């Protein structure tokens, strides 16, 4: 009996008897059956929930969603790096692709697009001068696997490698090369060294173009450097003018020398021909003289007189009723010859004396041969 006279009731009038174990188990079973569509026909208190008959449809929908989540498109310029359970599996090319979600992970990278990078820094040259160098780099992804897996941030590695390669190359060059004529060579060396660094880091990047956009001294020494450049340009201009003058003078001198050589060769041929002709005429004259000495001697004399008279000034005096007189003004002839000598004009006297000398030579030759015949 309870303290208030009410059996199995609390002070507020509620039933204080604990439920039976069997009843609790029954209620739990009913609740489970109601969730999964079970339960007896007489017990409809469970209501709501879904039945076991709808479970295959739900599972089918989940499978379709899982399959659809693994479908993706790879463009023509892209490659897909596939990882299975965190390990590299394969690289897939362009097209519609599928990989099982959760099991596989993939990352799509563009291997055709050329990416730009611009770097600007102050560099110390070999001759201990400071130059401000601006370099532009164009690169692309050559190996998607290395780009995705072998390095954490390939683009950041490119920036650091560019700084290192540029400082190494510029540090081995003098200031004039870095600012003027050696920029193309520096760009080529930077490209070679940068590619070597990227290959060593396994970045999967390929350098396409390296271009030195600008290289200039610091602003503090810009005016002095401009003066040096102007002086160098003046030197080049003066050298070019001197070379132009030399190129115009040397061919002219060579032409004059060639003409002198040709004149000398022609004079040589002329002298040889005249000498051979004189020798031939002498031999012919000697033969004629041997046949008729008196006639030949008179002919030579007449030829000599003709030569003298034709090349000399003559005065013909016509005397009435008498013979004409031919007068040779020897004094005038001597004065004319002296005047030519004073003017340094050579006088050709060979025509006047060549016949006489030839006659004397013929006579001497005949006398020599006559003496030889008398001795025999």
Q: Does the residue 241 lie in any domain? A: yes
Identify the domain containing residue 144 by its residue range. Answer: 115-217
SS (H, E, C) the chain: CCCCCCCCECCCCCECCCCCHHHHHHHHHHHHHHHCCCCCCCCCCCCCCCCHHHHHHHHHHHHHHHHHHCEEEECCCEEEEEEECCEEEEEECCEEEECCCCCEEEEEEECCCCEEEEEEEEEECCCCCEEEEEEEEEEEECCHHHHHHHCCCHHHHHHHHHHHHHHHHHHCCCHHHHHCCCHHHHHHHHHHHHHHHHHHHCCCEEEEEEEEEEEECCHHHHHHHHHHHHHHHHHHHHHHHHHHHHHHHHHHHHHHHHHHHHHHHHHHHHHHHHHHHHHHHHHHHHHHHHHCHHHHHHHHHHHHHHHHHHCCCCEEECCCCCCCEEECCHHHHHHHHHHHHHCCCCCCCHHHHHHHHHHHHHHHHHHHHHHHHHHC
Same-domain status, 149 and 237: no
- Asked, for residue 94, whether it belongs to a domain, the answer is no
The answer on 226 and 156 residing in a single domain is no
- Same domain, yes or no: 132 and 166: yes
Domain boundary among 194, 217, 240: 217
**pTM of the predicted protein model:** 0.46
Which pLDDT does position 374 carry in this prediction? 67
Contact residues for 355 (Cβ-Cβ < 8 A; gap 6+): 300, 303, 304, 307
User: Is residue 297 located within the same domain as residue 287?
Assistant: no
Q: What is the CATH number of the domain that holds 159?
A: 3.30.479.30
Residue 230 resides in a domain: yes
> Are residues 122 and 183 part of one domain?
yes
Answer whether residue 158 is part of any domain: yes
Q: Are residues 253 and 208 in the same domain?
A: no
> Do 189 and 274 share a structural domain?
no
Domain end position, chosen among 291, 317, 350:
291
In a domain, 152, yes or no: yes
Asked if residues 163 and 120 have their Cβ atoms less than 8 Å apart, the reply is no
Residues 370 and 303 in one domain: yes
Residues 151 and 162 in one domain: yes
Asked whether residue 91 is domain-assigned, the answer is no
Residue 96's Cβ-count burial label (10 Å; 0-12, 13-18, 19+) is exposed
On whether residue 95 sits in a domain, the answer given is no
Same-domain pairing of 286 and 296 = no
Digitized pLDDT (tens) for each residue of the chain, 376 residues in all: 444 544 555 554 555 555 566 776 777 667 666 655 544 444 444 444 445 566 677 777 777 887 777 778 787 878 888 888 878 778 887 878 778 887 877 888 888 888 898 988 888 888 877 888 889 999 998 888 888 888 888 888 899 999 999 988 888 888 877 777 788 888 899 999 999 999 998 888 889 989 888 888 777 777 777 777 788 788 888 999 988 888 888 888 888 899 999 999 999 999 999 899 888 888 888 888 888 888 888 888 888 777 777 766 665 555 555 555 555 555 555 555 555 455 444 444 444 455 556 556 656 666 666 676 667 6
State the total domains in the chain.
Answer: 3
CA distance 90 to 106: 10
Instruction: For the chain, give the number of residues.
Output: 376
Q: Indicate if 172 and 210 belong to the same structural domain.
A: yes
Rounded to 10 deg, the angle between the 293-310 and 222-291 helix axes is 140
Q: Among the three residues 273, 291, 309, which one is the final residue of a domain in this structure? A: 291
Within-domain flag for 307: yes
- Indicate whether 128 and 210 sit together in one domain: yes
């Amino acid at each position: 009996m309870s303290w208030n006279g009410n059996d199995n009731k609390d002070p507020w009038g509620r039933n204080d008897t604990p439920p039976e174990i069997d009843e609790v188990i029954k209620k739990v079973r009913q609740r489970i059956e109601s969730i999964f569509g079970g339960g007896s026909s007489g017990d409809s208190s469970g209501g709501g929930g879904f039945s076991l008959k709808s479970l295959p449809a739900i599972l089918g929908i989940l499978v379709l969603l899982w399959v659809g989540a693994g479908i993706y498109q790879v463009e023509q310029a892209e490659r897909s790096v596939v990882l299975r359970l965190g390990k590299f599996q394969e690289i897939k090319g362009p097209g519609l692709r599928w990989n099982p979600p959760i099991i596989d992970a993939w990352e799509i990278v563009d291997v055709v697009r050329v990416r730009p990078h611009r770097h600007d820094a102050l560099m110390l040259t070999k001759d201990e001068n400071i130059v401000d160098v601006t370099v532009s780099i164009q690169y692309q992804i050559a190996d998607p696997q290395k780009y995705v897996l072998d390095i954490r941030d390939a683009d950041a590695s490119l920036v650091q490698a560019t700084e290192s390669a540029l400082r190494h190359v510029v540090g081995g060059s003098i200031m004039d090369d870095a600012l003027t004529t050696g920029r193309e060579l520096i760009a080529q060396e930077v490209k070679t060294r940068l590619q070597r660094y990227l290959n060593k880091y396994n970045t999967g990047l390929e350098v396409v173009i390296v271009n030195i956009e600008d290289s200039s001294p610091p602003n503090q020494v810009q005016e002095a450097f401009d003066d040096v450049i102007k002086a160098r340009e003046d030197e080049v201009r003066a050298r070019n003018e001197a070379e132009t003058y030399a190129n115009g003078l040397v061919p002219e001198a060579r032409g004059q020398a060639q003409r002198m050589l040709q004149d000398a060769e022609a004079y040589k041929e002329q002298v040889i021909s005249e000498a051979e002709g004189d020798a031939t005429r002498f031999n012919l004259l000697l033969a004629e003289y041997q046949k008729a000495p008196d006639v030949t001697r008179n002919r030579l004399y007449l030829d000599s007189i003709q030569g003298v008279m034709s090349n000399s000034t003559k005065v013909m005096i016509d005397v009435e009723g008498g013979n004409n007189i031919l007068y040779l003004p020897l004094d005038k002839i001597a004065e004319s010859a002296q005047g030519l000598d004073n003017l340094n004009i050579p006088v050709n006297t060979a025509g006047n004396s060549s016949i006489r000398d030839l006659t004397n030579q013929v006579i001497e030759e005949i006398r020599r041969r006559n003496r030889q015949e008398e001795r025999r």
